[in-house]
Amino acid sequence: MTTADYPEAPGPRAIPETDFIDTAPGRPFTLAGTESGFSQLHGISVAPLGEENDRLVALGHLTDRVALAATSGYHRRVLGERIMPTSELTDMIRFGTQRTHVQAVKAKPDDDYAWYLDDADPSNTTAQAVTLISIEWLEREDLAAPSACPSCTWLSRSVRFTTSPDHTEWAFYHRCRYCAHMWLPTAPAPHHTQPALSQPSTPELEMPSCTRSA
Ligand SMILES: [Zn+2]
């Protein structure tokens, strides 16, 4: 596995016009980091993957330190969350960060997402170096005000961008750690500079599960 460092990832000024637009559906293309879903965080292009946003893809092979910064930045700026310094964070770097190569493919018009990623051989000329970061198990704290569970009054300080209990709607929800009740925050988070901008609030922004296993 390649362990090239961050300079492989394009910086914000080095990003070329994306060829996503000119690519036919179902055809491979090169991610520029400006396609739907991507956010620019400290010059790193980061997008969520999977219906539950349980992984992030960052362009380039990031060092541990940069992967951590990108993950933290994504949570703060896009999700309005702070990552708690628990053992899950250590595990994310040790076991949950994968430096690999993928091929981006433009989705078909009737797909629920704009693009997806396939596994790719590094020798493929259009394969791209990416870092996949599993964020599913991270402990997070919302930057919004704590709220008491309507069911059991347990105080929740975190919200997650997830589907509603009946799985019909995406939104930020409190989820009670005591009784698992879910409810909507009463006040908007004060630091949501980009509220849910890259989240699958519309079908076209929804990302599929990434790399299919070969
Ligand atoms: Zn509760």
180 CA distance to ligand 1 middle (Å): 6
Same domain for 116 and 177?
no
Domain residues for the domain of 175 are 144-183
pLDDT given at position 160: 74
Instruction: Report if residue 205 sits inside a domain.
Output: no
Same domain for 171 and 132?
no
Same domain for 165 and 95?
no
Instruction: Report if residue 209 sits inside a domain.
Output: no
177 CA distance to ligand 1 middle (Å): 7
Flag whether pLDDT at 6 surpasses 50. Answer: no
159 CA distance to ligand 1 middle (Å): 13
Same domain for 47 and 131?
yes
pLDDT tens-digit readout, 28-56: 999 999 898 899 988 899 999 987 789 99
Q: Quote the DSSP letter at residue 87.
A: H
Instruction: Report if residue 198 sits inside a domain.
Output: no
Same domain for 114 and 76?
yes
Average pLDDT over residues 152-159: 82
Mean of the per-residue pLDDT values of the chain:
78
Please choose, from the candidates 154, 167, 189, 184, the residue with its C-alpha nearest in 3D space to the C-alpha of residue 52: 167
Instruction: Report if residue 191 sits inside a domain.
Output: no
Same domain for 123 and 156?
no
Please choose, from the candidates 105, 99, 133, 104, the residue with its C-alpha nearest in 3D space to the C-alpha of residue 8: 99
pLDDT tens-digit readout, 166-195: 777 777 788 888 898 998 876 544 444 443
The answer to whether 179 and 154 have CB atoms below 8 angstroms apart is: yes
157 CA distance to ligand 1 middle (Å): 12
Return the percentage of the chain with pLDDT > 70, whole number: 77
Q: How confident is residue 132, by pLDDT bands cut at 50, 70 and 90?
A: very high
pLDDT given at position 18: 65
